[in-house]
Amino acid sequence: MATLRKTIHDAAIAATALVTRLVPDRVPATFVGADSSRELCDAVARSGAKRVLVVTDRTLVEIGVVGRLVEALEAAGMSVSIFDGITPDPTFAAVEAGYAKLVSERAEAVLAVGGGSPIDAAKVIAAMATNGGRIEKLEGRFRVRRPPLALYAIPTTAGTGSEVTLAAVISDSASHAKKFFIDPKLLPLAVALDPLLMLGLPPAMTAATGMDALTHAVEAFLAKTATPQTDAHAVASVRLVFGNLPRAVADGRDVAARKAMALASWYGGLAFTRTSVGYVHAIAHTLGARYGTPHGRANALVLPHVLEFSLDASQERLARLATEIGIEAPSERERALGFIEAVRELEAKIGLAPTLEALRPADIPAIAKQALAEAYANYPVPRFMEASDCEAMLRKMCP
């Protein structure tokens, strides 16, 4: 029975890998560096659109980040309206409210400003604008028939990579179940990675979001769907995270470290949008849904355990990552183990605990079941996991 389940899983992954190779590969035009967000605002104005809707959250309005961008857009001759009703894990209702604002303001372009939540919401709002306005018609894979309204993104955290992925995750307003919107048409036209907008991110959020970026890159590198191109992107991301995340956490105003982390997130996004993710994300999503654990924090907690579980299947790949971050050891096995140890050391250095206070042993069977259901026949993992493996792993994360 277990073998049959694994066979079906493997066949589904092989089929997905084939389909993925047929999906057109487009990278949004990307402005990088201090004040690059202003360059993007100028590019939006030059596109010919006159009215733009900024999709964001209230905090970014309150701390003045949005105001500076609005000034830049207005200086370039644009009429700007703001929808700041996006909260973490955005719901269908929030996206529908954003779409209503877009219609009433007759916006011709959408600019997402924020972390993964505003960017994901903006993707769906822009797609609703040209596809009949019904969010439920767009849910699932390849459901966006017509190109969305011109969509631009300025990430203000470095981790989700949403600015370069073809997916959006929106929660059902009633059940809070996460719904996936996956379509290459959801990719923004252009993005700006502006470190000056990230200087105020608190250390704990910098640490957690940075580990999300690392998890995207590592899961992409170990995925059965990896290609030479996704490998190159994943390696670039891993090197940037190990070289810069401790600096960005220790000194949030280190512009060079912030820029490097923005790029790490961007490369990680390019890698996993082609390969998909793995068990780390499946378990982290489940912990997030049950306990409200921030996504990056949950990934950081789970990552070393899943790497240990995958060691035999991924030894050569883990050893390659070790070499990329400067770990030397005589054998491939030692280098692979050295990489897992380096992940643990990085997490300790940036203040992320190896256990989760909220995690209750009594919840573990249900968490394992839900996480494995998310990954089954869906995530191209290097080694198939049974419920008993997942439960044993979760027990190690209890305080």
- The footprint of Fe ion (CB under 5 A) covers 212
Least separation in angstroms between CB 160 and Fe ion: 6
Nearer Cβ to Fe ion (212/347): 212
> Whole-number minimum distance, CB 224 to Fe ion, in Å?
19
- C-beta closer to Fe ion: residue 122 or 213: 213
Q: Spell out the alpha helix ranges (H) of the chain.
A: 2-22, 36-46, 58-62, 65-75, 92-105, 116-130, 203-222, 228-250, 255-275, 279-291, 295-309, 311-324, 332-349, 364-375, 387-396
The least distance separating Fe ion from the CB of residue 223, rounded to whole angstroms, comes to 14
Instruction: Write down the least CB distance from residue 159 to Fe ion, Å.
Output: 7
212 vs 231 by CB, closer to Fe ion: 212
Q: Which is nearer to Fe ion, 120 or 212 (CB)?
A: 212
Query: Which CB atom, from 101 or from 216, has the smaller least distance to Fe ion?
Result: 216
- Taking the least distance from each CB to Fe ion, the nearer of 211 and 236 is 211
Cβ atoms of 60 and 114 closer than 8 Å: yes
Least distance in angstroms from the C-beta of 215 to Fe ion = 6
Residue nearest to Fe ion (CB): 212
Residue 24 has a CB neighbour count (10 Å cut-off) of 8
Residue 397 contacts residue 286 (beta carbons within 8 Å): no
For Fe ion, the closer of residues 89 and 212 by Cβ is 212
Instruction: Write the CA distances from 170 to 80, 117, 152, 197, integer angstroms.
Output: 25, 8, 19, 25
Q: For 237-304, give the DSSP string.
A: HHHHHHHHHHHHHH-TT-HHHHHHHHHHHHHHHHHHHHH---HHHHHHHHHHHHH---HHHHHHHHHH
Q: How far is the CB of 39 from Fe ion (least distance, A)?
A: 27
* Nearest alpha carbon to residue 51 among 133, 111, 99, 98: 111
Between CA 9 and CA 18 the distance in angstroms is 15
Give Cβ neighbours of residue 291 (< 8 Å, ≥ 6 apart).
356, 358, 359
**Least separation, in Å, of the C-beta of 277 and Fe ion?**
7
